[in-house]
C-alpha cells in the first residue's frame, strides 16, 4: 500500500491506542499522537500528514475544530472528526470548518478505513484540480506574454522557464531541426548540453515520432543521456523541431502536464510564426528578392547613418557604380529567365568579393551599387578582385549562353567634401558610363 501518513489527535489514551492499532492493521503510517490542539498544530506542521483524525473535545482550552482551523490556515490537510456526541451546534461547527467527514464513537474498523480512503482520494482530486487550474491560469498569462515577444530566443527562454517553474519538469532541451536526425540545441537548462551544439536523435525514436506528437522513452530506448532515474519524453515543436523534457527523479509523466506542455508549444509556435513573418516582411522591405542584395529603400536609409558616422569619425565613403553589360541582349535572345540568372551571378560575385563591411545594392534594372564605408584607395583592390573573379567564372562556364562583364565607376565622399551624396552618386554613375563606352570600343575593335 502507498505510504499514507496519519496524525491522531485524541485526548483519551485508550481510544488513541486503539486507533493506532487499527491504522497499523491497514498499513497506514501513524506519524504522531497528540492530546491537545496546540501540539496538534505543531505536529501537523512538522510531519505534514495526509490525514488528521481529530477529536472535537480535547485537553486544554482549544477545541478540535479550532485547532483544525489553525492547521488549515497553513496547509490544506483533510481532517476527519471523531466525536461521541453530535448535536445541532456541533454539526453546524463541523460543516463550517469544511471537514472531509466525521465518525461517531464507537466506530467499526471498516467504517474508519473507508472514511480515510475516501478522504485521501477526495483530497488528492482537489489538489490535482487546484494544481491543474493554477497551471492553466499561469499558462494563460504566459501565452499573453508570448504575444509581445520580439525575438525567437526570448520565446525559447520563456518556454524553458515555464516548463520548469510551472509544469514542474526537471530539465528541458529545445532542439532545432537541421536535417533528418541532426538537430541543434538552441535552449536548455540541463547543465550537460551546450547551446548551439549538435544533437543526433536515435532513428528508432524518430520513427516513433512520425506517428505521434509525444514519445515517452522506456528502458529499451537508447538515448545516451546521463540522467539516471529520470523519465524522458520528446514532443514535437512545430516550426522549430523538438522539445525534450525530463520528469522529476523517480516520477512518471503526468498526462495533464504533457497536455499542457503541448498547449504551451502550440502558443509558442504561433509566436514563432509571427516573428518569422515579421522578419520575412522586414527582409522583403530592404532586400531585392531575386539577387538578395539590398534595395534602394534600404540604401537611402542606411546612407544617412553612414554619413553621420563618417562625419563623426572624419572618414570617407567610396561608391562603386556597376552596370551589367549585355543584359538586354540576353533577355531579347534567350528570355528573361537567363537575364535573371545573369543578374544573380553578378550579385553573388559582388557580395563575395567586396569587403564584409561593404553594402551591395541593386540600384536599378541592370545596375548595382557598392557602398564602401571608411574607404578611398582600397576600391581598386576590390575592383581587381571582382574582375578577376568574373574572368574566372567566364572560363569555368564557357557553355553558358551569357558572358559576365560590367562597367564600373567610382567616386568618393568625405566629411570635408562640399558635394552632396547625390552629387557623388551622379559622379560615380558618369564614370561608370565612361567605362562602359571604353569597354564597348574595346569589344568593337576585337
What is the model's pLDDT at position 126? Answer: 87
| Residues 245, 370 share a domain | no
Which cell goes with 71?
Answer: 492547521
Task: Specify if 137 maps to a domain.
Answer: no
Question: Could you identify the residue written with the cell 551544439?
Answer: 197
| Residues 178, 43 share a domain | no
| Residues 434, 311 share a domain | yes
Q: What is the pLDDT of residues 282-323, one digit of tens each?
A: 888 899 989 999 999 899 888 988 888 888 888 899 999 999
| Residues 302, 439 share a domain | yes
* Residues of the domain holding 101: 5-124
Task: Specify if 323 maps to a domain.
Answer: yes
Q: What pTM was computed for the model? A: 0.65
Q: What is the pLDDT of residues 77-112, one digit of tens each?
A: 888 988 876 666 766 666 666 667 778 878 888 999
| Residues 191, 117 share a domain | no
Task: Specify if 131 maps to a domain.
Answer: no
Task: Say whether the peptide bond before residue 100 is cis (omega within 30 degrees of 0).
Answer: no
| Residues 303, 273 share a domain | no
Task: Specify if 290 maps to a domain.
Answer: no
What is the model's pLDDT at position 68? Answer: 87
| Residues 263, 343 share a domain | no
| Residues 120, 27 share a domain | yes
CATH number at residue 255: 3.30.450.40
Task: Specify if 326 maps to a domain.
Answer: yes
- C-beta of residue 32 within 8 angstroms of C-beta of residue 8: yes
Q: What is the pLDDT of residues 375-404, one digit of tens each?
A: 866 788 889 999 999 999 999 999 999 999
What is the model's pLDDT at position 446? Answer: 47
Nearest to 119 by CA among 95, 140, 136, 101: 101
Q: What is the pLDDT of residues 215-227, one digit of tens each?
A: 888 765 656 665 6
Over 50: is that where the pLDDT of 445 sits?
A: no
**Residue 315: CB atoms within 10 Å:** 16
Task: Specify if 115 maps to a domain.
Answer: yes
What is the model's pLDDT at position 247? Answer: 82
Which cell goes with 291?
Answer: 539577387
Q: 31: helix, coil or strand?
A: strand
Q: 88: helix, coil or strand?
A: helix
Over 80: is that where the pLDDT of 180 sits?
A: yes
Task: Specify if 133 maps to a domain.
Answer: no
Question: At 170, is the pLDDT very low, low, confident or very high (cuts 50, 70, 90)?
Answer: confident
- C-beta of residue 32 within 8 angstroms of C-beta of residue 77: no
| Residues 67, 25 share a domain | yes
| Residues 300, 274 share a domain | no
Nearest to 159 by CA among 177, 140, 172, 170: 172
Q: What is the pLDDT of residues 398-420, one digit of tens each?
A: 999 999 999 999 999 988 888 88
User: Among 93-107, 179-193, 231-245, which is the least confidently predicted range?
Assistant: 93-107
| Residues 62, 13 share a domain | yes
Final residue before a domain boundary, out of 247, 279, 311? 279
Task: Specify if 68 maps to a domain.
Answer: yes
Final residue before a domain boundary, out of 108, 124, 140? 124
- C-beta of residue 174 within 8 angstroms of C-beta of residue 249: no
CATH number at residue 392: 3.30.70.270
Separation CA 159–CA 380 (nearest Å) = 51
Contacts of 358-361 with CB under 8 Å at 24 or more apart are 358/382, 359/294, 359/299, 359/302, 360/293, 360/294, 361/293, 361/294, 361/295, 361/296, 361/298, 361/299
DSSP code per residue over 122-150: HHHHHHHHHHHHHHHHHHHHHHHHHTT--
Separation CA 348–CA 338 (nearest Å) = 15
Count of the separate structural domains present in the chain: 3
Question: Could you identify the residue written with the cell 574566372?
Answer: 392
CATH number at residue 80: 3.40.50.2300
Amino acid at each position: 500500500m502507498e505510504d499514507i501518513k496519519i496524525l491522531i489527535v485524541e485526548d483519551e489514551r485508550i481510544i488513541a491506542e486503539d486507533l493506532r492499532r487499527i491504522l497499523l492493521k491497514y498499513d497506514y503510517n501513524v506519524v504522531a499522537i497528540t492530546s491537545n490542539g496546540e501540539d496538534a498544530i505543531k505536529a501537523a506542521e512538522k510531519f505534514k500528514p495526509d490525514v488528521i483524525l481529530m477529536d472535537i473535545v480535547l485537553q486544554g482550552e482549544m477545541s478540535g475544530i479550532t485547532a483544525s482551523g489553525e492547521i488549515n490556515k497553513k496547509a490544506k490537510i483533510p481532517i476527519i472528526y471523531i466525536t461521541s456526541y453530535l448535536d445541532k451546534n456541533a454539526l453546524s461547527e463541523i460543516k463550517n470548518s469544511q471537514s472531509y467527514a466525521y465518525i461517531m464513537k464507537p466506530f467499526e474498523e471498516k467504517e474508519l478505513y473507508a472514511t480515510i480512503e475516501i478522504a485521501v482520494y477526495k483530497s488528492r482530486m482537489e489538489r490535482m484540480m487546484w494544481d491543474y487550474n493554477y497551471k492553466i491560469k499561469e499558462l494563460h498569462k504566459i501565452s499573453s506574454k508570448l504575444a509581445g515577444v520580439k525575438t525567437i530566443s526570448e520565446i525559447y527562454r520563456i518556454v524553458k522557464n515555464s516548463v520548469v517553474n510551472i509544469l514542474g519538469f526537471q530539465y528541458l532541451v529545445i532542439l532545432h531541426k537541421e536535417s533528418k536526425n541532426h538537430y541543434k540545441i538552441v535552449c536548455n537548462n540541463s547543465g550537460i548540453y551546450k547551446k548551439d551544439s549538435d544533437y543526433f536523435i536515435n532513428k528508432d525514436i524518430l520513427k516513433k515520432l512520425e506517428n505521434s506528437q509525444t514519445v515517452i522513452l522506456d528502458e529499451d530506448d537508447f538515448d545516451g543521456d546521463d540522467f539516471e532515474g529520470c523519465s524522458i519524453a520528446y514532443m514535437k515543436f512545430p516550426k522549430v523541431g523538438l522539445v525534450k523534457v525530463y520528469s522529476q527523479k523517480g516520477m512518471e509523466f503526468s498526462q495533464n502536464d504533457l497536455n499542457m506542455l503541448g498547449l504551451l508549444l502550440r502558443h509558442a509556435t504561433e509566436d514563432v510564426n509571427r516573428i518569422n513573418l515579421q522578419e520575412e516582411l522586414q527582409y522583403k522591405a530592404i532586400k531585392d528578392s531575386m539577387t538578395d542584395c539590398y534595395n534602394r529603400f534600404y540604401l537611402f536609409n542606411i546612407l544617412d547613418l553612414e554619413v553621420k558616422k563618417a562625419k563623426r569619425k572624419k572618414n570617407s565613403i567610396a561608391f562603386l557604380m556597376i552596370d551589367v553589360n549585355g543584359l538586354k541582349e540576353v533577355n531579347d535572345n534567350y528570355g528573361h529567365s537567363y537575364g535573371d540568372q545573369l543578374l544573380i551571378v553578378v550579385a553573388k560575385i559582388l557580395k563575395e568579393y567586396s569587403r564584409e563591411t561593404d553594402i551591395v545594392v541593386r540600384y536599378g534594372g541592370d545596375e548595382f551599387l557598392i557602398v564602401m564605408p571608411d574607404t578611398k584607395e582600397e576600391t581598386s583592390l576590390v575592383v581587381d578582385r571582382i574582375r578577376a573573379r568574373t574572368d574566372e567564372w567566364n572560363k569555368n562556364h564557357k557553355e553558358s549562353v551569357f558572358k559576365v562583364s560590367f562597367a564600373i565607376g567610382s567616386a568618393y565622399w568625405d566629411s570635408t567634401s562640399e558635394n552632396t551624396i547625390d552629387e557623388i552618386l551622379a559622379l560615380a554613375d558618369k564614370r561608370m558610363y565612361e567605362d562602359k563606352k571604353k569597354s564597348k570600343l574595346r569589344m568593337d575593335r576585337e
